[in-house]
Amino acid sequence: MTKKKLLPYFLLSGALLLVLLIYLAPKVPKTESQVVPELTSSSTIEEIIDREKKDLPDSTLTKITFLEQDVAASPHPDSTYRFLSELWLKHQKPGIAAFYNERLAQLMQSADEYVTAGDIYLQASNAIQENDESNYWMERAGAAFEEANRMNPGDPAIMTRLGTYYTEATQEPMKGITLLREVLNKNPDFVDAHLQLGLFSIKSGQYDKAIERFNFVINSDTSKIDAYLYLAESYRFMQKKDSAIIFAKKFKEANADPMMERQVDFYIKELQSN
C-alpha cells in the first residue's frame, strides 16, 4: 500500500492546511520497500509496546504493568482494556491505544468500540512518517471499520468511514466510492459522505463536482467550516484565485484557532502573490 495521509471528516485538526496539502499531493507509486509487513502477530505488537514503554515515565510504566497483570488474571478485562487504551492515548501513543480499544471491541462485540479503535488507528497512522508502521496502523483501521460494518450493516457513519478508507488508503478506490454513493442513495442528506466525495472529486480533478459537494456541506451544516478551505482549494486549482481568497477568508472568520489564522493568512498571501 502506498503511504497516504488519510483525511477523513472525523480526524480534522489544527494542522488542516498542512494535512490538506499532503492529502492533495500526487501519489507516490508503490515500491517493494513500501509493502506493508506482516505486523499481525502478538509478538510484533509486544515489540512495539516494549519499544514505546521506553519513552514513558516510571510512574506511568508502573500503572501499565499493573494493568497488564490484571488483563492476564481477569476473565473479563473490559474495563482494564479501556484504562490501558486511555493511558496510552494520554501519552500520545495512539497505535497502542487503538490496539487495546480493539481488544475491548472484540471482548464486548461492540461496533461502536470498533469504530473508536479505527479512528484511533487513523490517528496513529497520520502521526508518524515511517511507512511500514504507518501503513500497518492504517490497515488496522480498515479492518476495524470492516468489522464495525459487519456488525452494524447500513450505518451511514460507519459506511462513510469504510468508504473513505478504501478511497484514500487502498488500491481499490472505486470500492470506496461505491460505498459512499450507497450511503447517499439511502441517506441523500448525509453530509459527511458528501464531504468525502467532494475530497475525492478534488483528487480526480473534478473541481465543479467538488464545489457542488462542498456548497451542499456548508449549506447543510455550518459547523463544517473545513468545507470553506476545500472550496478555496477547488477554486485555486481552477485558477479562480479571487474566489479561492473569498472562501479562505470565510474559513478564517469561522475558525477560532490563532495558529490556524496565521496559516490561512500565509495561504491567502501566497494566492495573492502568484
Q: Which residue has the higher pLDDT, 11 or 239?
A: 239
Q: Which residue has the higher pLDDT, 46 or 5?
A: 46
CA distance 203 to 84: 38
Question: Considering the chain, what is the average pLDDT of its residues?
Answer: 85
Return the domain boundaries, the chain.
Answer: 1-26+40-187, 189-274
CA distance 209 to 33: 36
Taking only the tens place, the pLDDT of each residue in 163-214 is 999 998 889 999 999 999 999 999 999 999 999 999 999 989 999 999 999 9
Equal CATH topology for 1-26+40-187 and 189-274: yes
Which amino acid is located at 161 in the chain? R
Q: Give the pLDDT band of residue 242 (cuts 50, 70, 90).
A: very high
Q: Give the pLDDT band of residue 146 (cuts 50, 70, 90).
A: very high
- pTM value is 0.80
Q: Which residue has the higher pLDDT, 39 or 144?
A: 144
The third-level CATH classification (topology) of the domain covering 1-26+40-187 is: 1.25.40
CATH code of domain 189-274: 1.25.40.10
Q: Write down the residue that cell numbers 442528506 correspond to.
A: 189
Taking only the tens place, the pLDDT of each residue in 58-71 is 999 999 999 999 99
Q: Give the pLDDT band of residue 30 (cuts 50, 70, 90).
A: very low
Segment 8-12 shows an average pLDDT of: 37
Q: For residue 35, give the C-alpha cell.
A: 509493502
What percent of the chain shows pLDDT beyond 90?
Answer: 68
CA distance 246 to 272: 11
